[in-house]
Structure 1
């Protein structure tokens, strides 16, 4: 225990000393050539992704001492390594630059780095398979350090092909054999060369017979030559490295979230801001594993993290115009949902929500139909026919009613345009199969609306319906059969004719005939006055909250 306490005390003293002397040290972040492999962007590496070898050195350490430390750490003789510090140019690039070992060898790291902390340095080493005992000499006045990248238009990828010292007076064509060898091409392969100047600026080198110092713009150590085979431009999507880097410049990470999943974290893919709607849809469909035409996209609302209006599949803008609606300095987000019908068909259709009830009036279910936008009620009923199960020996004919606060009213005629239908407030539309006895009504027959209530005439509940009017005793028998309940329970029901919200209870002891005139709106009443209806008064034995409620929206609480 005593030894453990002594060790902890010693470590604490070391940490305290490091904190007190922290201002005397700086970090040197070293990159070797293998750090450039696989990099697909501008310059030689991505500072956010690369893994550095970090050395903590005193600011007063000389370059001589730093090189000795690096040689010892990398297990290479000093003559087989050469440091090339990275420096930022005025054109937004970061390239290796020369340390003049003759004049700078005895200067401090702080002075040579110009007080950069951390200081990024590329350490060049003799290739293990080269057989060289030391690095080639480099004349700062007549030589230049060039880096090479190969662009493959087939795979749309960049391959790092090393570096080379070249005399500044050497002609461009002298690079061709070196580049073909590095790429593994035949020596006489025709190449196209480009100079990578800065992000979104890659210029083709035209004159191969001129010296490098004339052809390359402001020739400096760390310049990058990008080359590729000389092939037809129309063979590939990004046929040249210029197009590749232009596409890279416009790339952005976009998160796609499923609109139907609350708080969906989604998935992120890298896309070009120049992409069209079709290109974006194909990229997302490939990730989701579906057809591009079975996806619908929604812009992110201005300064809100929620979906806005849906995008039409004929959208002619670019991805850049879609993501401008996202909050600044936050991940770009677009919402989507998977469809059961193709998006081009959906956009020519109108989404219509209604409810379906079976012949026994026991259950209601929600239907989401997609009739044509310029269609009629007849088209809507035809769409419903595809989703519902009709009675085995039924009429096979459908009809539509309006439901409002558990009361029923006649629906629109079949030739009514869908754009005239309006589900507002508590009003919904209900579709059902026409019973056989209600299919063909005589001139002296009509359907009368029926609804359930208890005590208060405005406290309606249950599933309302229509029934054919006739002598009351026959209506009662028809009601019993339609409701499918026990006679003992049905005996507790009271019946009332409800006109303008006032019930007139029917005397069951006297044989009465239900006059159809009683169920018609009187001419003295306004055209918007509710039609009289037959009320069934009884206790509501259903749960207080209906199992199916298509008007109320649930309150969702997320942890």
Structure 2
């Protein structure tokens, strides 16, 4: 691949599979530990499009079905998918993307899987839609796990995707659920209720945000140590601090 001075580490590529493997085991807040995902070395002048071909060989996902997102650090110390890599950036050398991101390139590979478990064409990325990530909390098992992601319209409301969330969780379509947004983990946990009647835009949600949800607990039912997502995350923070 040439002399070592021409090689850079393209770090690191996360996928939905990584989220499923890590959330609830290695991490609880955020989506993934990028140090535990696939990384690849390429020559500085290699076009990003060529890197996509290498990913196609590595994961068996045709280039046509791939969309890479740049992951950036937020003020809450998380690293979330921020925006897709543009066609212009894909035609340019990897070095330019690295320089624009302080020689650190964390990526999320978006692939849509159809009902037959094969990739399907990606939905168009438009300004009126955002991609949200979802975790499910089970107070009985005291378990938090990643269940997937959805595209939603900014002008839409959470109440319009409740059936889809129940499907992700394996619940009955009419199961009542509570919805929270992960906001902050340190120094204090912030995980606030999402108003299902407000639009996603009014709730200031954006690409890469994480929504946690759980069954609505009935009054007078079994008492749980950590009955909701905020109390569970508070427990995890105190335990690991």
Q: TM-score, normalised by structure 2?
A: 0.86
Displacement after TM superposition at 1:173 (Å): 0.7
Alignment correspondent of 1:227: 213
Alignment correspondent of 1:31: 14
Displacement after TM superposition at 1:168 (Å): 1.1
Alignment of 1:480-499 (within 5 A): none
Aligned length: 229
Alignment correspondent of 2:238: 250
CA-atom RMSD in angstroms:
2.2
Alignment correspondent of 2:124: 137
Structure with the greater alpha carbon radius of gyration: 1
Alignment correspondent of 1:208: 196
Q: 2: distance between equivalents of 1:23 and 1:42? A: 37
Match of 1:84 among 69, 76, 81: 69
Residue 163 in structure 1 maps to residue 149 in structure 2 = yes
8 Å contact from structure 1 (residues 71, 78) kept in 2: yes
8 Å contact from structure 2 (residues 13, 34) kept in 1: no
CA displacement 1:277-302 (0-9 Å, x = unmatched) = xxxxxxxxxxxxxxxxxxxxxxxxxx
Q: 2: distance between equivalents of 1:251 and 1:110? A: 41
Alignment of 1:226-375 (within 5 A): 226-232=212-218, 235-252=223-240
CA displacement 1:453-494 (0-9 Å, x = unmatched) = xxxxxxxxxxxxxxxxxxxxxxxxxxxxxxxxxxxxxxxxxx
Q: 2: distance between equivalents of 1:171 and 1:71? A: 36
Runs of 4+ in 1 over 4 A off after TM superposition: 115-118
Unpaired segments ≥5 residues, structure 2: none
Counterpart secondary structure, 2:33: coil
Counterpart secondary structure, 1:237: coil
Cα separation, partners in 2 of 1:220 and 1:59, compared to 1, 3 Å = farther
Alignment correspondent of 1:54: 39
8 Å contact from structure 2 (residues 14, 32) kept in 1: no
Alignment correspondent of 1:107: 92
Q: 1: distance between equivalents of 2:209 and 2:44? A: 29
Q: 2: distance between equivalents of 1:74 and 1:25? A: 22
Cα separation, partners in 2 of 1:210 and 1:109, compared to 1, 3 Å = same
CA displacement 1:296-322 (0-9 Å, x = unmatched) = xxxxxxxxxxxxxxxxxxxxxxxxxxx
8 Å contact from structure 1 (residues 110, 116) kept in 2: no
Q: 1: distance between equivalents of 2:44 and 2:84? A: 17
Q: 2: distance between equivalents of 1:115 and 1:60? A: 16
Match of 1:45 among 18, 22, 32: 32
Displacement after TM superposition at 1:117 (Å): 4.3
Using CA pairs below 8 Å that are at least 6 residues apart, which structure has the higher relative contact order?
2
CA displacement 1:383-413 (0-9 Å, x = unmatched) = xxxxxxxxxxxxxxxxxxxxxxxxxxxxxxx
Displacement after TM superposition at 1:77 (Å): 1.7
Counterpart secondary structure, 2:201: helix
Q: 2: distance between equivalents of 1:42 and 1:188? A: 28
Counterpart secondary structure, 1:188: coil
Match of 1:70 among 47, 51, 55: 55
Alignment of 1:346-495 (within 5 A): none
8 Å contact from structure 2 (residues 147, 168) kept in 1: yes
